[in-house]
């Protein structure tokens, strides 16, 4: 029995369906438990399929659908990879329970067709075989032949106990451990034939910004960008999220609504290249949430024009925490031949979701520069470049300076700072980037005289690699309120698509006034 379950779970058929593999593990756990429970749709939905605590089976048939899919998957497994296995796993008809039967007991004759088990009696089991026999007219009729299978006999009880108990104990330990392991990941092959594109809509000029699940017409963000309500979408449900707080954004409204389920967007755009930003926040899973569940609780894939761009995507894992704004960035995005950008969100485990979509025209195949000032409002410098208000920050404190930096063409670029022990997680597309960090010492030696010599020392890391060690702004600038710009080249994002800048105090607090990230692509 232990070997058969392991064989099924590790088979290609179940590795291609991780949700059904998880459901099978759950049923095995209950089947082998000393405290075996009578399962119902609610319990399976919440405990096995990750549904919320207010899940209502009367309004949501997903448990019945997944059990039907599991039954089909088991049948397919025993018609292919497990065809020669002596023991077979079946679902008891009309119940949410597993049963293990010998192969020969599931065949009524030499036709080789496997049969579904019915609900068992005490020590014996009924099942139905369908036998083809010719009638008097030469046609074929189906006769049902009811047979009785003796599952246990007095002579075999002793042997059964000695042979089965030990493997059951081992299996229980193995499955219990597996249930704490992340689901096996599977890749989704391109499947352009699966798309049924709607008629083309009028192409949109310029940037496209969509707030998923947003029912109002427009939203004006803190940079003056206009976001439209949810549009060009098919499928899924619009939801409003309860956010006690959110890290890493100056515009929490972008993350207060979402589209959840299996859905697609068909966005008409002008021809050319685009930079695409997909915005996410995880509010259902992670520490402090009602579910209490962690990574691997939500897995889904995203297809762009029929090709996967995110596979086995886990918001909680990628963002490094819940209630944390997270953005995945892609460049060199072009519309398909019908003039639209098609995004399809496919479920792997629990519901896919997204908070917002941005499509911004790009120039020369490069990502648009990322410029952020540690201030509440945006800033336009002498060259006309826009600097976004503080975003992407985790930790630290945002404050305003009383005195602007001297001897600089853009003194108000240094009007604020973030100080403490903090990170900036800058989302970018794959590639190499120049990172410029802007500092000024507006406290040590200015507000607090006499602490200028070694009063503030800190380290800076990019994705764990040291950029600055024992850095002293006052010493580098030669006094307070003087700008210092440290520039680094060839910085690459991590696997989550982030340039993660860590500011670690050595003496007093680290601080930063602005960040500029530019694409080094030729």
Residue 185 belongs to a domain: no
Instruction: Name which residue leads in pLDDT, 374 or 86.
Output: 374
Q: Do 437 and 494 belong together in one domain? A: yes
HSE, side-chain direction, 13 A CA sphere, residue 201: 15
Closest listed residue to residue 352, CA positions, set 303, 289, 420: 303
Phi-psi region of 518 (alpha: psi -120 to 50; beta: other; left: phi over 0): beta
Q: Do 17 and 99 belong together in one domain? A: yes
Q: Do 298 and 387 belong together in one domain? A: no
What confidence tens digit (pLDDT) does each residue in 447-470 have? Answer: 666 666 668 999 999 999 999 999
So what's the pLDDT on residue 209?
97
Q: Do 257 and 217 belong together in one domain? A: yes
**Cross-strand bridge partners of residue 354:** 259
Question: Residue range 200-229: average pLDDT?
Answer: 86
H or E element, residue 296 = none
d(CA 239, CA 260) in angstroms, rounded, equals 7
So what's the pLDDT on residue 202?
64
Question: Residue range 343-372: average pLDDT?
Answer: 94
Show Cβ contacts of residue 89 under 8 Å, excluding neighbours closer than 6 positions.
4, 5, 8, 24, 74, 98, 99, 100
What confidence tens digit (pLDDT) does each residue in 227-268 have? Answer: 999 999 999 999 999 888 899 998 999 999 999 999 999 999
d(CA 205, CA 273) in angstroms, rounded, equals 13
Q: Do 207 and 246 belong together in one domain? A: yes
Q: Do 216 and 293 belong together in one domain? A: yes
Residue 61 belongs to a domain: yes
CATH code of the domain containing 415: 2.60.120.430
Residue 6 belongs to a domain: yes
Question: Residue range 40-67: average pLDDT?
Answer: 80
Check pLDDT > 70 for residue 500: yes
Residue 189 belongs to a domain: no
**Cross-strand bridge partners of residue 247:** 324
Helix-helix angle 2-9:18-32, to 10 degrees: 160
Domain termination residue (choose one: 361, 391, 416) = 361
Q: Return mean pLDDT, the chain.
A: 80
What confidence tens digit (pLDDT) does each residue in 157-210 have? Answer: 444 444 444 454 444 444 444 443 333 333 333 333 333 444 455 666 679 999
Chain Cα centroid distance, residue 201: 30
CB-based contact 279:210 (threshold 8 Å): no
H or E element, residue 332 = strand 326-333
So what's the pLDDT on residue 7?
86
CB-based contact 345:311 (threshold 8 Å): no
Q: Which of 36-50, 295-309, 462-476 has the lowest mean pLDDT?
A: 36-50
What confidence tens digit (pLDDT) does each residue in 393-406 have? Answer: 999 999 998 776 77
3-class DSSP state for residue 170? Answer: helix
Q: Do 82 and 27 belong together in one domain? A: yes
So what's the pLDDT on residue 451?
63
Check pLDDT > 90 for residue 111: no
Check pLDDT > 50 for residue 116: no
Domain termination residue (choose one: 361, 389, 422) = 361
So what's the pLDDT on residue 177?
42
Dihedral sign of CA atoms 178, 181, 187, 193 in order: positive
So what's the pLDDT on residue 76?
87
So what's the pLDDT on residue 190?
35
Domain count, the chain: 3
Residue 271 belongs to a domain: yes
So what's the pLDDT on residue 136?
38
The percentage of the chain sitting over the pLDDT mark of 90, rounded to a whole number, equals: 47
Question: Which residue has 């967007």 as its token pair?
Answer: 265
Confidence of residue 290 (pLDDT cuts 50, 70, 90): confident
What's the token pair of residue 12? 């290609």
Q: Do 145 and 223 belong together in one domain? A: no
Q: The whole model's pTM is what?
A: 0.62
Q: Do 53 and 154 belong together in one domain? A: yes
Confidence of residue 499 (pLDDT cuts 50, 70, 90): very high
Residue 33 belongs to a domain: yes
Instruction: Name which residue leads in pLDDT, 299 or 19.
Output: 299
Question: What residue numbers bound the domain in which 329 lies?
Answer: 202-361
Count of C-beta atoms within a 10 Å radius of residue 436:
15
What confidence tens digit (pLDDT) does each residue in 388-444 have? Answer: 999 999 999 999 987 767 777 888 899 999 999 999 999 999 999 999 999 999 888
Per this entry, what is the length of the chain?
Answer: 522
Residue 338 belongs to a domain: yes
Q: Do 52 and 86 belong together in one domain? A: yes
So what's the pLDDT on residue 310?
96
d(CA 428, CA 373) in angstroms, rounded, equals 17
Instruction: Name which residue leads in pLDDT, 450 or 318.
Output: 318
HSE, side-chain direction, 13 A CA sphere, residue 386: 9
d(CA 381, CA 369) in angstroms, rounded, equals 14
Burial class (CB in 10 A: 0-12, 13-18, 19+), 116: middle
So what's the pLDDT on residue 217?
85
Residue 321 belongs to a domain: yes
Q: What does DSSP assign to residue 158?
A: H
Q: Do 217 and 312 belong together in one domain? A: yes
Domain termination residue (choose one: 300, 331, 361) = 361
Q: Do 357 and 380 belong together in one domain? A: no
Check pLDDT > 90 for residue 303: yes
Show Cβ contacts of residue 210 under 8 Å, excluding neighbours closer than 6 positions.
227, 228, 229, 230, 231, 232, 265, 267, 356, 357, 358
């Amino acid at each position: 029995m232990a070997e058969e379950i392991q064989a099924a779970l590790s088979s290609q058929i179940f590795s291609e369906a991780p949700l059904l593999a998880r459901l099978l593990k759950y049923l095995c756990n209950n089947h082998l438990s000393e405290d075996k429970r009578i399962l119902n749709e609610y319990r399976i939905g919440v405990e096995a399929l990750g549904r919320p605590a207010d899940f209502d089976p009367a309004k949501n048939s997903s448990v019945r659908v997944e059990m039907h899919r599991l039954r089909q998957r088991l049948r397919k497994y025993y018609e292919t990879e497990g065809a020669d296995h002596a023991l077979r796993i079946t679902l008891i008809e009309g119940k949410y329970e597993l049963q293990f039967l010998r192969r020969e007991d599931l065949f009524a004759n030499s036709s080789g067709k496997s049969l579904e088990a019915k609900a068992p009696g005490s020590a014996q089991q009924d099942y139905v075989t369908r036998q083809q026999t010719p009638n008097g007219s030469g046609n074929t009729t189906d006769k049902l032949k009811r047979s009785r299978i003796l599952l246990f006999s007095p002579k075999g009880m002793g042997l059964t106990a000695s042979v089965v108990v030990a493997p059951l104990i081992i299996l229980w330990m193995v499955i219990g451990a597996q249930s704490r392991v992340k689901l096996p990941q599977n890749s989704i092959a391109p499947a352009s034939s699966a798309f049924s594109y709607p008629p083309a809509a009028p192409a949109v000029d310029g940037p496209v910004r969509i707030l998923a699940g947003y029912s109002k017409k427009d939203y004006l963000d803190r940079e003056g960008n206009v976001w439209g309500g949810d549009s060009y979408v098919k499928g899924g449900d619009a939801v409003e999220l309860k956010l006690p707080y959110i890290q890493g954004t100056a515009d929490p409204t972008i993350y207060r609504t979402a589209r959840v389920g299996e859905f697609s967007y068909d966005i008409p755009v002008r021809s050319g290249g685009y930079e695409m930003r997909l915005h996410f926040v995880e509010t259902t899973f992670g520490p402090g949430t009602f579910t209490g569940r962690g990574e691997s609780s939500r897995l889904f894939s995203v297809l762009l024009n029929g090709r996967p761009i995110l596979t086995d995507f886990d918001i909680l894992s990628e963002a490094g925490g819940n209630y944390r704004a997270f953005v995945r960035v892609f460049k060199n995005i072009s519309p398909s031949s019908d003039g639209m950008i098609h995004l399809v969100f496919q479920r792997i485990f629990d519901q896919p979701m997204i908070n917002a979509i941005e499509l911004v025209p790009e120039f020369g195949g490069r990502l648009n520069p990322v410029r952020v000032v540690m201030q509440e409002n945006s800033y336009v410098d002498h060259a006309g470049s826009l600097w976004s208000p503080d975003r992407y920050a985790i930790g630290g404190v945002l404050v305003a300076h009383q005195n602007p930096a001297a001897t600089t063409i853009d003194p108000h670029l240094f009007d604020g700072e973030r100080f403490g022990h903090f990170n900036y997680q800058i989302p970018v597309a794959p590639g190499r980037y120049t990172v410029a960090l802007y500092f000024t010492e507006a406290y040590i030696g200015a507000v607090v005289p006499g602490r200028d010599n070694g009063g503030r020392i800190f380290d800076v890391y990019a994705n764990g690699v040291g950029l600055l060690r024992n850095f002293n702004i006052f010493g580098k600038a030669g006094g307070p309120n003087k700008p210092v710009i440290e520039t680094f080249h060839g910085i690459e994002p991590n696997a989550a698509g982030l340039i993660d800048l860590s500011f670690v105090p050595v003496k007093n607090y680290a601080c930063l006034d602005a960040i500029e990230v530019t694409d080094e692509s030729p």
